[in-house]
Amino acid sequence: MSAHDRHEAVAGPIWTPFFKVVALIVGITVVLMARRFTLGLGSSTALSDGYPWGLWIAFDVVTGTALGCGGYAMALLVYIFNRGKYHPMVRPALLTSALGYTTAAVAIHLDVGRPLYLYKIPVSPMWWNLNSALLEVAVCVMTYIVVLWLEISPAFFEKWERGPDGFFKKLANTFHPIIDKIMVPLMALGLLLPTMHQSSLGALMLLGGKKVHGLWHTPLLPGLYLLSCVGMGYAVVAFESILSSRTYKRPRETRMLASLAGVTGWVVLIFSGIRLVDIVLRGKAALIFQPTIQSLFFLVEMAAFVVGGLMLVMPAFRNTAAGQFQSAMLVIFAGTLYRIDTYLVAYNPGPNWHYFPSVPEMLITVGVIGLEILAYVVIVKTFPILRGATPAQAAS
Amino acid sequence: MDSPKRNEPRSKLFEDRGVDRRDFIRVCTMAAVAVGLPASVGVKWAEAAAKGLKPSVIWLHFQECTGCTESLLRTSHPALAELILDLVSLDYHETLFAAAGYQIEDALKSAMAANAGKYICVVEGAIPTKDKGIYCKIGGRTAIDILNDVAGKAGAIIAIGSCASFGGIPAADPNPTGATGAPQILAGKTVVTLPGCPANPYNFLGTALQYATFGTLPALDDKGRPRFAYGRVIHEDCPRRPHFDAGQFVQQFGDEGHRNGWCLYKMGCKGPVTHANCSLQPFCEVPGAWPIGIGHPCFGCTEQATAFRIPLHTTVEIEHPTPPDTYPPIKADHGRISPVAAGVGGLIAGALVGAGVVASRKLAAEAEKEE
């Protein structure tokens, strides 16, 4: 990335007590994952013919990639809207994105019936069904994961270049100039791909037709998914920035986050507005007030969106770290619920079908997220990702 | 397969007519497959024909419209030319023979004498019995006499069409000539009946060629009909069956349901009681070339009790009322919500909310301190 930002690896040992606890949880879930791979989906999950997509798709993949949209959202802001002041936040955002998407890729291997055949998707374009929204998601996500790791790769190269002679140094010396040269098209690709597949994730449930509750099913689903993933992306950037600066005793980015919060707030409020107007125009408003579980979830979801959005635009909240943190959590919660609702709560495959994730499903999800946290900790403590402990201006 | 033996007399014949042995075997194989026999049977036919072991066929016409012969003329796999020239030896057929008068009657006598006990006797048309059978005479002999004579020395007897099988149209009320089918005249003999108006030519070819190849007849039902073709009712394999199951019926010709190809049961379709393979084996390889295929109710031509007796638009009782197998059960629970899982889910959600609240409180406290 550009030379005017100073990124530094976080000092300190990797094996902290927190790290050990998370590693233990991950270790336990690895056993559960082994069980799923040896005994099959039926042994571990509550999935059925009516609900072939459960927690792993609704949360790990659909929500996980949306939470990994920080990189996309920040790149949109910095490179498309030319807000260069946010540039220091791009690299951490890209790391969370890369980890989020990689986690989703791990989760999809757990979820599909025959994960060994997933490799056939990239190697057999001659057999692609180009009318499939699912193919679009698969190909885009696969490509985007590669693009994300390439985008973040300068952070690794910077470390290896200064390191001892050897394979990694050679690797860095060879590829760093190449990556720098192709960074602009890479960034462009990194903006295009999520635009495609995040909207396709909405399109998947648009294809669900009457199986999806009227409060969620709308022709605008692809657009709403895109808009909400941008809002969630910003919220995750703020959330991660606040937590990491507190944990690693870095300077807070409260002022930068405050102006980012304005952007996030308006994105979320516009999303909520479009959604409510769409529901009214489609004549589905009466569904909100029916005593169903769906309307309850809808109300909770919309309340979180609207309250989170309002907090983000109100100076009283957006200028304090706690306010930023709370509003970011609300937006993340709302966006997560929106996705889980569309895929599970609003989804009704027919009478008498029930689904609630089984204990192994939930624990494996926890483990997958734990794995993501471990990777994050290791990477930020090894490579220059976060903004330096000394302010950039002072260093330059 | 053996390599072609060009020096065999039959092979010479092919060359004379410009027919390759390979082409001939292909024709035989296609014929075998078209009538539902294994392709290897076609090779056997070809070999039998090459040795000159073609079955002799004597074809009798009585009270009929020649529709069965006409439809047989229009088969193309095998075409009739191939059939009569290559696969069977057609020794007597009033419609197809150039000869007439004493000449053709001599042909009949000599064929019967030469192949006594081996030839296939095909009967087309009903036989009048009233007034000693005087209503149908050929060469001075009544139909009853001819049939008893020819069938008596035959190896196999096939009654083609509804008329020969049970009387058909000539036997319809009031039946002025006392017409009846061949099985009724030839009581005690095995008569393969191939009812149908006309009979599907492939059902005839399958039966005739099986006899020609193996010397056996197909399994028959109690009315002498080959089970391979008449084992199931039209209704069971009807392409419009889903509309019957869904309750979508044509109410009158030209209505919306009729234009959309719905079930013709209420229009008097006899499919539910009619044993035939019309929907599975199209006439002369033309898909949809059968009554229901062109939007007309089946009139039950293969059933003595139905054809020419029950009015065209009268509905019939369903013979095998089978329920559709695709309806889901009225109440079946799929998937179960485990209380433990719900508890664990609640714990995880609670822990997340709790952690969020604690973290934001700490943040607020620290921010206050800094100020």
CB pairs under 8 A between A and B: 68
B364 vs A contacts (CB less than 8 Å):
320-322
pLDDT tens profile A316-361: 888 888 889 999 999 999 999 999 999 999 999 887 888 999 999 9
Question: From the CA of B321, how many Å to the nearest CA of chain A?
Answer: 28
pLDDT at B28: 73
Task: Tell me whether B371 touches chain A (CB under 8 Å).
Answer: no
Instruction: Give the Å distances, CA to CA, from B224 to A1, B165, B221, B304.
Output: 89, 9, 5, 12
Examine the pLDDT at B79 and tell me if it is beyond 80: no
d(CA B64, CA B113): 27
Question: From the CA of A243, how many Å to the nearest CA of chain B?
Answer: 9
Where does chain B hold its CATH 3.40.50.700 domain(s)? 9-229
Cβ-nearest to A352 among B334, B359, B360 = B334
Examine the pLDDT at A268 and tell me if it is beyond 90: yes
pLDDT at B245: 85
pLDDT category at A267 given cuts 50, 70, 90 is: very high
Q: In this structure, what token pair is assigned to residue A310?
A: 């309002």
Q: In this structure, what token pair is assigned to residue B101?
A: 């008068």
d(CA A269, CA A280): 17
Task: Tell me whether B356 touches chain A (CB under 8 Å).
Answer: yes
Question: From the CA of A53, how many Å to the nearest CA of chain B?
Answer: 13
pLDDT at B16: 53
pLDDT tens profile B153-170: 999 999 999 999 999 999
pLDDT at B63: 93
pLDDT tens profile B129-157: 999 999 999 989 999 999 999 999 999 99
pLDDT tens profile B176-202: 999 999 999 998 899 999 999 999 888
pLDDT tens profile B243-258: 998 889 999 999 999 9
pLDDT tens profile B15-36: 555 556 777 777 777 767 766 6
Question: From the CA of B259, how many Å to the nearest CA of chain A?
Answer: 28
Average pLDDT over residues B281-305: 88
Q: Is the distance from CB of A365 to CB of A45 less than 8 angstroms?
A: no
Task: Tell me whether B354 touches chain A (CB under 8 Å).
Answer: no
Cβ-nearest to B344 among A50, A242, A362 = A362
Domain covering B9-229 in this structure, CATH number? 3.40.50.700
Identity of the highest mean pLDDT range in A238-242, A330-334, B353-357: A330-334
A350 vs B contacts (CB less than 8 Å):
328
d(CA B216, CA B203): 15
- Residue contact B336–A329, C-beta within 8 A: no
Where does chain B hold its CATH 4.10.480.10 domain(s)? 232-323
pLDDT at A396: 30
**Average model confidence (pLDDT) for chain B?**
84
Residues B203-221 as b/e (b if ≥16 CB within 10 A, e otherwise) read bbbbbbbbbbbeeebbebe
**Is the peptide bond prior to B174 cis by the omega test (within 30 degrees of 0)?**
yes
- Residue contact A357–B341, C-beta within 8 A: yes
d(CA B12, CA B136): 44
pLDDT category at A23 given cuts 50, 70, 90 is: very high
Average pLDDT over residues A31-39: 93
Which one is the CATH code of B232-323: 3.30.390.30, 4.10.480.10, 1.20.1290.10, 3.40.190.10?
A: 4.10.480.10
Element (H, E) at A8: strand A7-8
B363, B366, B370, best to mutate vs chain A, most A CBs in 10 Å: B363
Examine the pLDDT at B13 and tell me if it is beyond 70: no
d(CA A330, CA A156): 33
Interhelix angle B201-214/B21-34, rounded to 10 degrees, is: 120
- Return the SS3 of A379: helix
pLDDT at B325: 59
Say how far residue A107 (Cα) sits from the centre of its chain: 13
Question: From the CA of A357, how many Å to the nearest CA of chain B?
Answer: 7
Strands (E), chain B: 56-61, 89-93, 120-124, 127-128, 137-138, 141-142, 156-160, 179-180, 191-194
Q: Which residue has the higher pLDDT, A338 or B361?
A: A338
Domain positions in chain A are 7-350+357-387
pLDDT tens profile B304-325: 989 888 998 998 888 767 665 5
Cβ-nearest to A246 among B333, B337, B363 = B363
How much of chain A exceeds pLDDT 90, in percent?
65
Choice among A82-86, B189-193, B356-360 with the minimum mean pLDDT: A82-86
- Candidates A124, A141, A47, A140; CA nearest to A353 is A47
A241 vs B contacts (CB less than 8 Å):
none
- Return the SS3 of B145: helix
d(CA B146, CA B105): 11
Task: Tell me whether B345 touches chain A (CB under 8 Å).
Answer: yes
Examine the pLDDT at B213 and tell me if it is beyond 80: no
- Residue contact A46–B338, C-beta within 8 A: yes
According to DSSP, the residues that pair with A386 across neighbouring strands are A8
pLDDT at A3: 43
Question: From the CA of B243, how many Å to the nearest CA of chain A?
Answer: 23
pLDDT tens profile A353-370: 889 999 999 999 999 999
Nearest Cα residue in chain B from A254: B367
pLDDT at B52: 65
CA dihedral (A207, A209, A211, A216) positive or negative: positive
Q: Which residue has the higher pLDDT, B47 or B347?
A: B347
pLDDT at B264: 94
Nearest Cα residue in chain A from B331: A352
Q: Is the distance from CB of B196 to CB of B333 less than 8 angstroms?
A: no
Nearest Cα residue in chain B from A349: B334
Nearest Cα residue in chain B from A47: B335
d(CA B265, CA B242): 12
Q: Is the distance from CB of B271 to CB of B265 less than 8 angstroms?
A: yes
Examine the pLDDT at A395 and tell me if it is beyond 50: no
pLDDT category at B6 given cuts 50, 70, 90 is: very low
Eight-class DSSP state of B265: G
- Residue contact B335–A50, C-beta within 8 A: yes
B330 vs A contacts (CB less than 8 Å):
none
According to DSSP, the residues that pair with B124 across neighbouring strands are B61, B160
Examine the pLDDT at B12 and tell me if it is beyond 60: no
Question: From the CA of A153, how many Å to the nearest CA of chain B?
Answer: 32
A357 vs B contacts (CB less than 8 Å):
341, 345
d(CA A232, CA A73): 9
Average pLDDT over residues B202-211: 83
10 Å CB burial of residue B192 (0-12, 13-18, 19+) is buried
Place of tokens 């204990």: A359
Choice among A109-118, A173-182, A385-394, B102-111 with the minimum mean pLDDT: A385-394
Count of residues making up chain A: 396
**Average model confidence (pLDDT) for chain A?**
90
Question: What residues in chain A have their Cβ under 8 A from chain B's Cβ atoms?
Answer: 46, 48-51, 242-243, 246, 320-322, 325-326, 329, 350-359, 361-363, 366
pTM of the model: 0.59
pLDDT tens profile A182-226: 988 998 999 999 998 999 999 999 999 999 999 999 999 999 999
According to DSSP, the residues that pair with B3 across neighbouring strands are none
Cβ-nearest to A362 among B334, B348, B366 = B348
d(CA A238, CA A247): 14
Q: Which residue has the higher pLDDT, B75 or B236?
A: B236
Place of tokens 């059968």: B290
d(CA B234, CA A214): 44
Secondary structure, 3-state, B314-325: CCCCCCCCCCCC
B359 vs A contacts (CB less than 8 Å):
243, 325
Nearest Cα residue in chain B from A357: B341
Eight-class DSSP state of A59: I
Q: Is the distance from CB of A102 to CB of A261 less than 8 angstroms?
A: no
B64 contact partners, CB below 8 Å, separation of at least 6: B124, B125, B126, B161, B163, B164, B168, B170
Nearest Cα residue in chain B from A319: B367
Identity of the highest mean pLDDT range in A2-16, A82-96, A269-283: A269-283
Cβ-nearest to B335 among A243, A354, A359 = A354
- Return the SS3 of A124: coil
- Residue contact A359–B340, C-beta within 8 A: yes
Eight-class DSSP state of B171: G
Q: Which residue has the higher pLDDT, B82 or A254?
A: A254
Strands B120-124 and B156-160: parallel
Instruction: Tell me the CATH class for A7-350+357-387.
Output: mainly alpha
